[in-house]
Copies of this chain bind each other. A is one copy, B any other.
Amino acid sequence: MRSVAMDAADADRSDFTARARVRDAAVELFGRSGFNVSVRTIADAAGVSPGLILHHFGSKQGLREACDDYVLQRIREYKERAVRPASANELLLAMASVDESAPLVGYALQSLQAGGDLARSFIDHFAADAEEWIAEGVKAGTILPSLDEKARARYLTVQGFGALLLDLTLNPPEDPSDIAGAMRGYLARMGLPSTELFTQGLLADRSMLDAYLLYVVDPPQP
């Protein structure tokens, strides 16, 4: 039996309980092929009968929720363990480059595409981090201040993950488990234009921004 000291919500990473094996197989398969993989497929991958999955997790939905919790917790751990705060892309690429944590990235991306609570927590978390990180940059003088720091942090987060997600959807890797390679391809395609946009912007003058600010103050009646 499982030690009473670690309950189901614990990060029993290095154990080989059937329950943990199922959870790991589910994270990997959900992350690689989406949430339509069958319970039987997961059971096969974990070397276990289908019935056992529902014995441990109640239902397929229960399994998904357990995976959600596990992935979110492990990513939080990973983020806190990083000595220096990093951008979301850097962190994900670092995680995707390590065999042990790569499936977590795949799962998180699939989750973002599917929506739901984990996706929201995920974005909230990264947006909060971005806000902090940006605030430090502004204080240090390396980042320009914004009229709405919170909105900017969220926008940059959604925009960054959205672009990554769509790019991976349009250019699916031949090997679906090589998320690091796929991410590197994305960064190679988008690195220059994004850095350029962040450095110089796009528009030559402030007229559009000023017009938008006027529009916000006095919107046209719909």
Q: Which residues of A approach B to under 8 Å, CB–CB?
A: 112-115, 119-120, 123, 141-144, 146-148, 151-152, 154-156, 158-159, 161-167, 169-170, 172, 189-206, 208-209, 212-213, 216
Residues of B within 8 A of A206 (CB): 199-200
Residue pair B204, A201 in contact (C-beta under 8 Å):
no
Given contacts A162-B165, A167-B158, contact A151 B204 (CB under 8 A): no
For the complex, give the distance between the alpha carbons of A156 and B114 in Å: 23
Q: A152: nearest residue on chain B (CB-CB)?
A: B193
Q: A142: nearest residue on chain B (CB-CB)?
A: B204
User: Would you give 18 A-B contacts (Cβ < 8 Å), ordered by A?
Assistant: A112-B166, A120-B170, A123-B166, A144-B201, A144-B202, A154-B189, A155-B190, A156-B193, A156-B202, A158-B163, A158-B166, A158-B190, A159-B163, A161-B162, A162-B167, A198-B209, A199-B201, A201-B201
Contact of A113 among B141, B169, B203 (CB under 8 A): B169
Say how far A21's CB is from chain B's closest CB, in angstroms: 29
Residues of B within 8 A of A119 (CB): 169-170
Say how far A142's CB is from chain B's closest CB, in angstroms: 5
Residues of B within 8 A of A154 (CB): 189, 193
Residue pair A166, B156 in contact (C-beta under 8 Å):
no
Contact of A155 among B112, B162, B194 (CB under 8 A): B194
Say how far A117's CB is from chain B's closest CB, in angstroms: 10
Residues of B within 8 A of A161 (CB): 162, 166
Name which of A142, A165, A193 has the most chain B CB atoms within 10 A of its CB. Answer: A193
Say how far A146's CB is from chain B's closest CB, in angstroms: 6
Q: A167: nearest residue on chain B (CB-CB)?
A: B158
- In the complex, the 5 A-B pairs of residues with the closest C-beta atoms, listed nearest first: A162-B162, A162-B166, A155-B193, A201-B201, A162-B163
